[in-house]
Chain A
């Protein structure tokens, strides 16, 4: 069906192009085309970047006869130098899936029936107006994604905050990047990724904290693999309870008990201070809070942490020596920390490690607080994620005045009496009935939020009007009152920004199918139909297309850390990826933040005054002014708090969920891509051989995994994970299987049937990595017709894929 990249199903990271420290990463162009199509047959090449992770790999779409017929990496781009992740190589095919939504649907007499746009929009606008009149703006909420474009988020944020005047707008970025943003705010006063991917080119130690980069950002892992294969390779520290492909390459691998990251970090900091590996003069000049941090970790010896984390104290010492002796230390953090107990507190300690060592703003030095989705960074910048646009501080009246001026509305119109409502609280308000209208765009909470039985019951609630804007009839769309068919990547235009602040332009290559419309056009039409106005009675939204929306966003961002004012579509077309801030002083972008040791942390400019790292309680402005009058980086300490839900006789094992290499999120696209679907067609559960022996199960057997919330049935894969820990990928839901899950009395398939409703009180990010569970073999599962056959067949195929990929890994080690 396609050609050019099928070998990558066997070796997802492709061939090595080794390079040494300080050298330019060599180019390697990855490409994939429809069968019978050669690159020379493309009639047009259209510039874009990757959609199925946060790495921002630049690519061109090949177009022939109005269809996408292939993709090719852009060799000249700073992010990927031509390489593409396996998902991006194949998943463009899903744009043409036969079950794309091509017309609006409206629920009538309990059934979703096709209607035209006028009818669908009239239903949405009618309900909005009615609720605004009867209940006020607090009844209306928006839940968006990490996969739209900046122009679309900015438009949505303007509609919600300045037009409707509701405080309830958040993204599914709450599940993936909220802690990254919060940890940066706590340490540096404002959001903004300090380091750059090019730091991989220079680092002598790379420390990855809960960051399975091989599967979450495969192209960045290729960059690291190429350094490892070259002269003077970096040494890796990996903190991850699973023995991932990354852990297999580590100099030191710590596999702590899930939920104990903060104890690991405090012990590392203890060792760094005790061995005088602190760059004291840098710390004195650029930070506040050292004494408190020193005091807080004084008793956090390796032995103390070893007990809590079930690690060997000598391994903790070795890890500390590795980061303590680094000359150019790059630290990265992802979901293993963000979706775990004490998420922000632990992620902040990684910032502290980098600060104590004075490793910031120089080549090879810094911290990358990562994210998971392609445009999560834009959700944060544009204020669609529970922050205000341009990293503005909701408690700073001058910042609100700036926004009011940009939008030409009265400051009181913009809710700023509390922090913008986070997703879990929006669902809580919907559960209680005070939120009566929920517009969900580009995300699938019926599979991705914790404790799905609860989420389904909220979405199905009488009295909650649910609008779903998506490209397929997802599990969530099936529960909607109105479904709006959207365009996707390649069918619309906008910019997006990756995890190292690189902005790419993604241009429309083909027309959306049927009556589907771009998310931007849907929002613009809603704003117009709602007659949202500014304080002079003029239309609130003054832009009409992607480029004019981008110009409006540029103005809003000017003077803030994420300053886009020097960018334009023309510059992005000409130059490819550029890192913000882009200003008159930095016309082709900024590689590293904080090179001059100055932060966006002064009380008048910071995005947040901070929170208590244990309780989430706000730090008052007066306290912040006293603590940090000169806007230095803040060394913020935190104490270890025991797990909220721990193992018991009834539920003796820990459950962690996560992403795997062949799929993205709930597989709306990757599940409709033949090669990716075949590589991992159904849910599995990873067990250590020790647990498998105890439970008398072997590879491929069906097991039931049960938690206090629900149960799923999955095929066993044996991996070298920590004993006592079960890993389940979170990709699988119900749209593509005949059995329709717990609601129909069938075994569950979605990992979130099991997960606990609990979140980090600081970042409000749900905790997906510390639920408890129990596992049992499905008795006589080979006799169960249908579902079991499907699962077993899936297990065979996935095991085969796994073996291939294991073999490739061994080859790359040789």
Chain B
């Protein structure tokens, strides 16, 4: 089938992007346990990426494309990190680390967003309503992750940077 390699490429990009989002958001949470809003919201949003992974794997399978349905879980390192960050999080340096990590999350989420764009554009051109519907469901969640990273960075940057 013509275009199947392109579809495989787009799905692979989405899968890679969302897999990274799960692990990055969970890592962000673990590392910044003492910044409570970051911790809880990052974990809530990691769940959205898990859902996106599950749903995209299903639709990909319908198109004979195998994506691993196993979504990453928090590793032992994250748990260790969580304990460390609670202990260390009450010092000033983590403020700058948090800005770095939010910046990184924003960039990863943006890459994932571009992957969803490519998948949706492929679906438009190929008249594939299943994939269009998938992108319509999942891409907005990814965009919300981007907006959150931007909001938190904007909120925390002035105090963090002027106090260094």
- Could you tell me which A residues sit within 8 Å of B by CB distance? 135-136, 138-139, 167, 417-419, 421, 424-425, 428-429, 431-434, 612, 614-618, 641, 644, 757-759, 761, 764
A418's partner among B34, B158, B163 (CB-CB below 8 A) is B158
Q: Is the CB of A138 within 8 A of B158?
A: yes
B37 on the interface (CB 8 Å rule)? Answer: yes
Can you give 30 A-B contacts (C-beta < 8 A)?
A135-B163, A138-B162, A167-B159, A418-B154, A418-B155, A418-B158, A424-B37, A428-B36, A431-B90, A432-B92, A432-B95, A433-B92, A434-B92, A434-B95, A434-B160, A434-B163, A612-B144, A615-B145, A615-B148, A616-B148, A617-B144, A617-B150, A617-B151, A641-B44, A757-B36, A758-B36, A759-B36, A761-B40, A761-B41, A764-B37
How many B residues, CB 8 Å from partner? 27
Q: Give per-residue flags for B28-49: 1 if the beta carbon is below 8 A from chain A beta carbons, else 0.
A: 0000001111001101110000
Docked Cα-Cα span, A428 to B41, in Å, equals 17
Chain B positions within 8 Å of A614 at CB level? 44, 144
The 10 closest A-B pairs by CB, nearest first: A434-B163, A617-B147, A617-B148, A615-B148, A617-B151, A618-B151, A418-B155, A433-B92, A757-B36, A644-B40
B91 on the interface (CB 8 Å rule)? Answer: yes
A761's partner among B35, B37, B158, B163 (CB-CB below 8 A) is B37
Chain B positions within 8 Å of A432 at CB level? 90-92, 94-95
Docked Cα-Cα span, A287 to B147, in Å, equals 25
What's the nearest-Cβ distance from chain B to residue A140, in Å?
Answer: 12
Chain B positions within 8 Å of A434 at CB level? 92, 95, 159-160, 163
Residue of B nearest to A415 (CB): B158
Q: Is the CB of A758 within 8 A of B148?
A: no
B36, B95, B162 interface centre (most CB from chain A within 10 Å)? B36
B34, B145, B148, B150 interface centre (most CB from chain A within 10 Å)? B148
Residue of B nearest to A433 (CB): B92
What's the nearest-Cβ distance from chain B to residue A147, in Å?
Answer: 27
What's the nearest-Cβ distance from chain B to residue A231, in Å?
Answer: 50
Q: Is the CB of B163 within 8 A of A139?
A: yes
Chain A positions within 8 Å of B90 at CB level? 431-432
Given A433-B91, A614-B44, A758-B40, 7 extra CB contacts under 8 A: A135-B163, A138-B163, A418-B158, A428-B36, A617-B144, A761-B37, A761-B41
B162's partner among A136, A615, A761 (CB-CB below 8 A) is A136
What's the nearest-Cβ distance from chain B to residue A748, in Å?
Answer: 20
Residue of B nearest to A431 (CB): B90
Docked Cα-Cα span, A615 to B40, in Å, equals 10
Chain A positions within 8 Å of B94 at CB level? 432
What's the nearest-Cβ distance from chain B to residue A477, in Å?
Answer: 23
What's the nearest-Cβ distance from chain B to residue A794, in Å?
Answer: 34
Known contacts A418-B158, A432-B91, A433-B91; A616/B151 CB under 8 A: yes
Chain A positions within 8 Å of B144 at CB level? 612, 614-615, 617
B45's partner among A419, A431, A615 (CB-CB below 8 A) is A615
What's the nearest-Cβ distance from chain B to residue A788, in Å?
Answer: 34
Residue of A nearest to B42 (CB): A615
Chain A positions within 8 Å of B40 at CB level? 644, 758, 761
Docked Cα-Cα span, A417 to B154, in Å, equals 8
Q: Is the CB of A417 within 8 A of B92?
A: no
Chain B positions within 8 Å of A612 at CB level? 144, 147-148
Docked Cα-Cα span, A424 to B91, in Å, equals 16
B34, B90, B150, B154 interface centre (most CB from chain A within 10 Å)? B90
- Contact residues of A: prevailing secondary structure: loop
Chain B positions within 8 Å of A135 at CB level? 163
Interface residues in B35-89 by Cβ distance below 8 A to A read 35-37, 40-41, 43-45
Docked Cα-Cα span, A761 to B36, in Å, equals 10
Interface residues in B126-164 by Cβ distance below 8 A to A read 144-145, 147-148, 150-151, 154-155, 158-160, 162-163
Residue of B nearest to A766 (CB): B36
Chain B positions within 8 Å of A617 at CB level? 144, 147-148, 150-151
Known contacts A615-B144, A644-B40; A417/B158 CB under 8 A: yes
Docked Cα-Cα span, A43 to B41, in Å, equals 59
Docked Cα-Cα span, A614 to B40, in Å, equals 11
Chain A positions within 8 Å of B92 at CB level? 432-434
Docked Cα-Cα span, A418 to B150, in Å, equals 12
Q: Is the CB of B41 within 8 A of A615?
A: yes
Q: Is the CB of A167 within 8 A of B158?
A: yes
Q: Is the CB of A429 within 8 A of B159?
A: yes
Docked Cα-Cα span, A418 to B159, in Å, equals 10
B44's partner among A424, A431, A615 (CB-CB below 8 A) is A615
What's the nearest-Cβ distance from chain B to residue A453, in Å?
Answer: 12
Docked Cα-Cα span, A758 to B37, in Å, equals 7
Docked Cα-Cα span, A758 to B43, in Å, equals 13
Chain B positions within 8 Å of A757 at CB level? 36
Residue of A nearest to B155 (CB): A418
Chain A positions within 8 Å of B163 at CB level? 135, 138-139, 433-434
Chain B positions within 8 Å of A433 at CB level? 91-92, 163
Chain A positions within 8 Å of B151 at CB level? 615-618
What's the nearest-Cβ distance from chain A to residue B67, in Å?
Answer: 25
Docked Cα-Cα span, A616 to B147, in Å, equals 9
Chain B positions within 8 Å of A641 at CB level? 44
Q: Give per-residue flags for B87-107: 1 if the beta carbon is below 8 A from chain A beta carbons, else 0.
A: 000111011000000000000
Chain B positions within 8 Å of A644 at CB level? 40, 43-44
Chain B positions within 8 Å of A418 at CB level? 154-155, 158
Chain A positions within 8 Å of B43 at CB level? 644
What's the nearest-Cβ distance from chain A to residue B125, in Å?
Answer: 27
Chain A positions within 8 Å of B150 at CB level? 617-618
Residue of B nearest to A457 (CB): B90
Docked Cα-Cα span, A446 to B96, in Å, equals 28
Chain A positions within 8 Å of B35 at CB level? 428
Docked Cα-Cα span, A434 to B92, in Å, equals 7
Docked Cα-Cα span, A641 to B41, in Å, equals 10
Docked Cα-Cα span, A424 to B45, in Å, equals 21
Residue of B nearest to A618 (CB): B151
Docked Cα-Cα span, A138 to B40, in Å, equals 26
Chain A positions within 8 Å of B147 at CB level? 612, 615, 617-618
Docked Cα-Cα span, A419 to B159, in Å, equals 12
Docked Cα-Cα span, A759 to B154, in Å, equals 19
Docked Cα-Cα span, A417 to B151, in Å, equals 11
B37, B147, B158, B162 interface centre (most CB from chain A within 10 Å)? B37
Docked Cα-Cα span, A578 to B149, in Å, equals 44
Docked Cα-Cα span, A424 to B35, in Å, equals 10
Docked Cα-Cα span, A758 to B33, in Å, equals 11
Docked Cα-Cα span, A612 to B35, in Å, equals 19
Chain B positions within 8 Å of A429 at CB level? 159
Chain A positions within 8 Å of B154 at CB level? 417-418, 618
Chain B positions within 8 Å of A761 at CB level? 37, 40-41
What's the nearest-Cβ distance from chain B to residue A702, in Å?
Answer: 31
Chain A positions within 8 Å of B162 at CB level? 136, 138
A135, A138, A764 interface centre (most CB from chain B within 10 Å)? A138
Docked Cα-Cα span, A433 to B147, in Å, equals 28
Docked Cα-Cα span, A764 to B162, in Å, equals 23
What's the nearest-Cβ distance from chain B to residue A638, in Å?
Answer: 12
Docked Cα-Cα span, A167 to B155, in Å, equals 11
What's the nearest-Cβ distance from chain A to residue B45, in Å?
Answer: 7
What's the nearest-Cβ distance from chain A to residue B27, in Å?
Answer: 18
What's the nearest-Cβ distance from chain B to residue A565, in Å?
Answer: 33
Chain A positions within 8 Å of B159 at CB level? 138, 167, 421, 429, 434
Docked Cα-Cα span, A139 to B92, in Å, equals 13
Chain B positions within 8 Å of A419 at CB level? 155
A139, A432, A618, A761 interface centre (most CB from chain B within 10 Å)? A432
What's the nearest-Cβ distance from chain A to residue B24, in Å?
Answer: 16
B34, B35, B91, B163 interface centre (most CB from chain A within 10 Å)? B163
Chain B positions within 8 Å of A759 at CB level? 36-37
What's the nearest-Cβ distance from chain A to residue B103, in Å?
Answer: 16
What's the nearest-Cβ distance from chain A to residue B6, in Å?
Answer: 31
What's the nearest-Cβ distance from chain A to residue B84, in Å?
Answer: 16
